[in-house]
Amino acid sequence: MKPSVSVLPGFDLWPAALSDAAQAALVAEVLAAVESAPFQRYDTAYGKAMSVAMSSFGPLGWVSDKAGYRYADRQPGTDRPWPAMPQVLLDLWAAYGDPDTPPDSALINLYRDDARMGLHQDRDEVDPAFPVLSISLGDTAVFRIGGTARGDPTRSLRLASGDLCRLSGPARRAFHGVDRIQAGSSRLVPGGGRINLTLRRARPADVTV
């Protein structure tokens, strides 16, 4: 494991954590998964479609609609289970996230064109003691992170393909988002854009799915 860069307390970054081959293999896993769990642009609780397209791996997938934000064990629209979590993601979680309790959800975000993600907190998981682990693939993202209050000062940094970052401890519920992607900065993702994989433990440690 390469040394991490501590960007702020609880927010750690491992630049170029994944080799080129590992990145390509993960993209292939994503492309295979979305054959049965197609990307969707969910509506927010306010009824506006998100600019980021989403899918998931694992027993649970994060979904959103006018009823609110939540985890579901079936895909919206198809009512099918989500694709199984690839072993490589389980291994990365064990190495960088939590060695004892596996993740039960990996959100797949696809950023293309002017897609962005506004500042938000990850609050839909039961136990914030578990970290959020994020893997960047493809185009570089301009990522923004602040504190645990919406009005706290923010800072921005670039997340490139193969970078891995973790929100834990005091940063676990920090406001964060993606201002934009730098289109054409990578040729990894077919058709261009950025894929972000976010591993989480949504349910308590003693709950099996």
Label each residue of the chain as H, E or C: CCCCEEEECCEEEECCCCCHHHHHHHHHHHHHHHHHCCCECCECCCCCECCCEEEEECCCEEEEECCEEEEECCCCCCCCCCCCCCHHHHHHHHHHCCCCCCCCEEEEEEECCCCCEEEECCCCCCCCCCCEEEEEEECEEEEEECCCCCCCCCEEEEECCCCEEEECHHHCCCCEEEEEEECCCCCCCCCCCEEEEEEECCCCCCCCC
Residue pair 62/125 in contact by the 8 Å Cβ criterion: no
Lowest mean pLDDT across 20-29, 45-54, 108-117, 165-174: 45-54
* Cβ atoms within 10 Å of 158's Cβ, excluding its own: 13
Q: How confident is the model at residue 209 (pLDDT cuts 50, 70, 90)?
A: low
* Cβ atoms within 10 Å of 50's Cβ, excluding its own: 17
Residue 1's pLDDT is: 65
10-46 burial by CB neighbour count: b if 16+ within 10 A, else e?
bbbbbbebbeeeebeebbebbeebbeebebbebeeee
d(CA 171, CA 9): 6
- The pLDDT > 70 percentage for the chain reads 98
Q: How confident is the model at residue 203 (pLDDT cuts 50, 70, 90)?
A: very high
| pTM assigned to the model | 0.95
CATH of domain 5-200: 2.60.120.590
Look over the chain and give the mean of its residue pLDDT values, rounded to a whole number.
Answer: 95
Residue 2's pLDDT is: 64
Residue 21 has pLDDT above 90, yes or no: yes
Q: How confident is the model at residue 27 (pLDDT cuts 50, 70, 90)?
A: very high
Residue 4's pLDDT is: 77
Residue 6's pLDDT is: 83
Model confidence over 67-115: pLDDT tens digits?
899 999 999 989 999 999 999 999 999 999 999 999 999 999 999 999 9
Q: How confident is the model at residue 17 (pLDDT cuts 50, 70, 90)?
A: very high
Model confidence over 157-194: pLDDT tens digits?
999 999 999 999 999 999 999 999 999 999 999 999 99
Residue 184's pLDDT is: 96
